[in-house]
Structure 1
Amino acid sequence: MKNIKRISAVFATTLVLGTFSPLNFISPITAEAAAIEQPTIEAAAAFIIEPTTGKVLLNQNGDEKLGIASMTKMITEYILLETIKNGDLAWDDQVEISEYAHKVSQNYELSNVPLRIDETYSVEELYQAMAIYSANGATIALAEHIAGDEQTFVDMMREKVETWGITNYELYNTTGLSNSDLYGHIYPGSTEENENTMTAREMAIVAQKLLNDFPDVLKTSSISKKTFREGTSDKIEMTNFNWMLPGLDHERANVDGLKTGTTDFAGASMTGTAEEEGMRIITIVMNATNGQEDLGKRFVETDKMMDWAFENWEMVPAFEENQIIENIDPVAVDDGKEDVIELAVKSDVSLLVPKNTDIKNTSVTIQLQKDLLNESDHLTAPIEKGTEVGTAQVISEGDELGYVNGEEGEEVTVVAASTIEKANVFVLGGRWVKDFISNLF
């Protein structure tokens, strides 16, 4: 919300919920007793979030910039899907293949499907090749079709991630390959040795944006096997590099994405996602090996992370819609029949917490909307019940992980809990006289 002003520390207070009946059945276990030990993941970095809230469940070296390899393609996918959504591209549009995309596609030491210069391919089949088989030539062809050339598409990628608050990154190409594999088609100012990098936290943001804005991406990322160009001499069986999908070597129930990545520099990495009992998580593993010697290790570690997250975390209700926020000082109101007003949450609030956490130990920090405050930092009557007056951050006591975007708690809109009518001139005059006399003595 724009124009928000944080009000004094008296509003950051411990909130004890006594009337919210769903919480009355929770055992009185302290936040400290409910704390759970984070597992050690055998990787350079590991990260888990819940995508709808952005709540961080696990952070192991999540803010060190590391190689991301083909996990880069999630950004390419996002821009492609956004371009289609905006009506500037269609699934059945035909894509011509440049000499550059063709040459990359013929390198079978890399992930690829064969492309021909004298043929065109639909956007959909190239997208499937990119999302399922991590096909690098197909990725370049799509980028060139959308932006004219890969460099311009990389500029689009950089601009996009920065709108998401991602700053600790390096992006040089659309595929995640080392620049040395691009036959001299490298981003201006970069070198042959450069590769794309991000932090695990930032990769989680990329995956979160992709899933939340384009959930249908899972229809493709969940495909274990698919034939490219069936019925032609270029037919090739594409087996998804996410071996946790059904029928593959590390199959795990309910896994439906999202993207692997492997180079010597980045090691074996993976962005995974799964949903169990109504809760979805996103997992990030970066360099689960020192290089590429054990490509299955990333799936073993991802499986460990998913087990831990689903076994130890749960969504618990903290507020009901229109529930008054108790045990905070009322907000001052000028020129009203009453001189203070209580605040309520506009919508239900739930917190993702370790199981058996006593959510009664919850703090609330209020921020009032700056353009509603007068020179005394008070609200001014009249105020209608339900008027949006600011936001609240709801934080479970003992939570040190916070949210992927850096926020400490779950944010909810705050509204006026009652109507305050404007006082008449006689009441206001009487208050002025009372204040004047009080100031004399």
Structure 2
Amino acid sequence: MSPLLPTLLATALLAGSFTSAEAAPHAKPKAAAARKAKPAAPAEQAMTTDANGQSIPLLENKAWVLMNFNTGQVLASSNPDEPLPPASLTKMMTSYLVEQALKSGKVKPDDKVTMSESAWCRGGKNGDSCMFVPLNAQASLMEMLRGVVIASGNDASKALAEHLGGSEAGFVTQMNAEAAKLGMTKTHFENADGLPGANHKASARDMAVLAAAIIRNSAEYYPLYAEREFTYNNIKQGNRNALLYTDPTVDGLKTGHTEEAGYCLVASSKRNGMRLISVILNASSKQARADQTRVLFNWGYANFEEATPAQAGATLTTPKVVYGVAPEVAAGVAKPWTLVVPKGQAAALKTEVTLNPGLEAPIAKGAVIGKVVASANGKVLGEAPVVALADVERAGFFLRLKQRIAGWFSK
């Protein structure tokens, strides 16, 4: 036998191990094919029009939402409020409750969590995602949390549910209570891992709300959602969120898939200080959910920007106050006020303040005394309450009398 034959056979087998859609690494096209090949023109994104007449991407899935994190404003959506099977997106609520328990001190990162028989993963049957903790073994709570967030372990989800709730059913009660607290009105959980259940449903809008809560309230633990791999028990598993490997602006959050739910993805991206949250429910494939998320992020950042019509604590106006120890009060917005506006309109923003009539002391600092409306090119884009920026005490009898008499002569 020629000494080159084994090498040739091995090369042939290696080349054949790649699918037709996935070229072998460093493969070079034949010269003739290279001469004929032309770069494919990028497909133009199909668009449609929403109920407000806004042109938005047309995506092939059952529901999607694109939300601005800072304001909670939904920039665009399709079927955002229909309860649908969320698959492993469910684990976002599981991880969120664990994170909040860690913040409150109810549990500690090094607490030992037992893998019970009811939580144990029996070899990943039926497509189950697993952390692969052995039966009756223990892992630290932080290891289990990473097993949920990164490896999407059903076993870790159930074990943590039992650890925090006494039972999975007890934990599910906590999940639904928290969903109600966050305003997730179209969501009902039946388990901690997202496997199909008759009434286990969530809407795209609700999943965006939950993602925002994780980013805002679990900031210490949010970096977990950007980790690309997790190793436990000598088993290395990669994060299934493909955008973490291809888009450096994406830093979370969670994938999900069952036959019933299709391919789902909740992701967040931050570019130039603006953070967007995207939710895709029931896409046809892993590739589709990633591509559709890219479309939404690119469309959102291309078409919108954040603006600050008024700075918190800055005086917008100084209305007169009747019967106060001071004749007027500084008024403005108490909290940071951010609006999402169409790209290019931030510089054109104008504000108009409307005050409640007949302001009379006493007025407490922070009391709402009117509103401020922001508009651009004649279109109203948002409003915020105007509050008193200082206390105004009520004047004594003689000062009030003096003010009243002065008021008579000023008419």
Aligned to 1:169: 187
Aligned to 1:390: 368
Q: Distance in 1 between matches of 2:373 and 2:261?
A: 35
- Segments of 5+ residues of structure 2 without an aligned counterpart are 1-52
Aligned to 2:76: 58
1:298 aligns with 2:289: yes
Give the residue type in structure 1 aligned to 2:94: T
Give the residue type in structure 2 aligned to 1:353: V
1:212-264 Cα shifts (integer Å, max 9, x gaps): 0112333222122222222xxxxx22111111122xxxx22221110011112
Which has the bigger relative contact order, CA under 8 A and spacing at least 6?
Answer: 1
Give the residue type in structure 1 aligned to 2:118: Y
Q: Distance in 2 between matches of 1:151 and 1:298?
A: 31
Q: Distance in 2 between matches of 1:323 and 1:90?
A: 42
Aligned to 1:379: 360
The alpha-carbon distance between structure 1 residues 380 and 226, as it changes in their structure 2 partners (threshold 3 A), is same
Q: Among residues 281, 306, 318, which one is paired with 1:315 in the alignment?
A: 306
The alpha-carbon distance between structure 1 residues 121 and 170, as it changes in their structure 2 partners (threshold 3 A), is same
Q: Among residues 87, 101, 110, which one is paired with 2:128 in the alignment?
A: 110
Report SS of the residue matched to 1:66: coil
Aligned to 2:258: 263
Q: Is the 8 A contact 2:324 2:360 kept in 1?
A: no
Q: Is the 8 A contact 1:69 1:262 kept in 2?
A: yes
Q: Is the 8 A contact 1:46 1:284 kept in 2?
A: yes
The alpha-carbon distance between structure 1 residues 162 and 104, as it changes in their structure 2 partners (threshold 3 A), is farther
Aligned to 2:271: 276
1:245 aligns with 2:244: yes
Q: Distance in 2 between matches of 1:414 and 1:279?
A: 27
Q: Distance in 2 between matches of 1:421 and 1:95?
A: 57
Aligned to 2:224: 220
Q: Distance in 2 between matches of 1:283 and 1:395?
A: 28
1:429 aligns with 2:401: yes
Q: Is the 8 A contact 1:105 1:138 kept in 2?
A: no
Q: Is the 8 A contact 2:67 2:277 kept in 1?
A: yes
Q: Distance in 1 between matches of 2:272 and 2:162?
A: 41
Q: Distance in 2 between matches of 1:212 and 1:391?
A: 29
1:297-338 Cα shifts (integer Å, max 9, x gaps): 000000101111122222223113444436xxx867442367
Matched ranges for 1:23-42 at <5 A: 37-42=55-60
TM-score (ref. length: structure 2): 0.76
Aligned to 2:338: 350
- State the Cα distance separating 1:135 from its structure 2 match: 0.7
Aligned to 1:184: none
Q: Among residues 349, 359, 365, which one is paired with 1:360 in the alignment?
A: 349
Q: Distance in 1 between matches of 2:369 and 2:241?
A: 40
Report SS of the residue matched to 1:133: coil
Q: Distance in 2 between matches of 1:414 and 1:266?
A: 46
Q: Among residues 97, 111, 132, which one is paired with 1:93 in the alignment?
A: 111
The alpha-carbon distance between structure 1 residues 321 and 169, as it changes in their structure 2 partners (threshold 3 A), is closer
Q: Is the 8 A contact 2:313 2:333 kept in 1?
A: yes
- State the Cα distance separating 1:414 from its structure 2 match: 2.1
The alpha-carbon distance between structure 1 residues 333 and 105, as it changes in their structure 2 partners (threshold 3 A), is farther
- State the Cα distance separating 1:171 from its structure 2 match: 0.9
Matched ranges for 1:124-163 at <5 A: 124-163=142-181
1:178-230 Cα shifts (integer Å, max 9, x gaps): 14xxxxxxxxxxxxxx1521211111110000110112333222122222222
The alpha-carbon distance between structure 1 residues 157 and 104, as it changes in their structure 2 partners (threshold 3 A), is farther
Report SS of the residue matched to 1:38: strand
Q: Distance in 1 between matches of 2:165 and 2:250?
A: 33
- State the Cα distance separating 1:100 from its structure 2 match: 0.8
Q: Distance in 2 between matches of 1:253 and 1:154?
A: 34
1:9-67 Cα shifts (integer Å, max 9, x gaps): xxxxxxxxxxxxxxxxxxxxxxxxxx963222222111112223222222222122222
Report SS of the residue matched to 2:192: coil
Percent identity over the alignment is 28
Q: Distance in 2 between matches of 1:222 and 1:126?
A: 16
Report SS of the residue matched to 2:93: helix
Give the residue type in structure 2 aligned to 1:157: M
- State the Cα distance separating 1:395 from its structure 2 match: 5.5
The alpha-carbon distance between structure 1 residues 391 and 153, as it changes in their structure 2 partners (threshold 3 A), is farther
1:201 aligns with 2:179: no
User: Bigger shift: 70-79 or 212-221?
Assistant: 212-221
The alpha-carbon distance between structure 1 residues 86 and 429, as it changes in their structure 2 partners (threshold 3 A), is closer
The alpha-carbon distance between structure 1 residues 416 and 116, as it changes in their structure 2 partners (threshold 3 A), is closer
Give the residue type in structure 2 aligned to 1:390: V
Report SS of the residue matched to 2:125: coil
Which structure's CA Rg is the greater one?
A: 2
1:333-354 Cα shifts (integer Å, max 9, x gaps): 4423677656223455332211
The alpha-carbon distance between structure 1 residues 149 and 377, as it changes in their structure 2 partners (threshold 3 A), is farther
Q: Is the 8 A contact 2:211 2:266 kept in 1?
A: yes
Give the residue type in structure 2 aligned to 1:167: T
- State the Cα distance separating 1:378 from its structure 2 match: 4.3
- State the Cα distance separating 1:101 from its structure 2 match: 0.7
Aligned to 2:11: none
Q: Among residues 211, 215, 218, which one is paired with 1:211 in the alignment?
A: 215
- Segments of 5+ residues of structure 1 without an aligned counterpart are 1-34, 180-193, 231-235, 369-375, 403-407
Q: Distance in 1 between matches of 2:327 and 2:313?
A: 21
Aligned residues: 356
User: Bigger shift: 148-157 or 346-355?
Assistant: 346-355
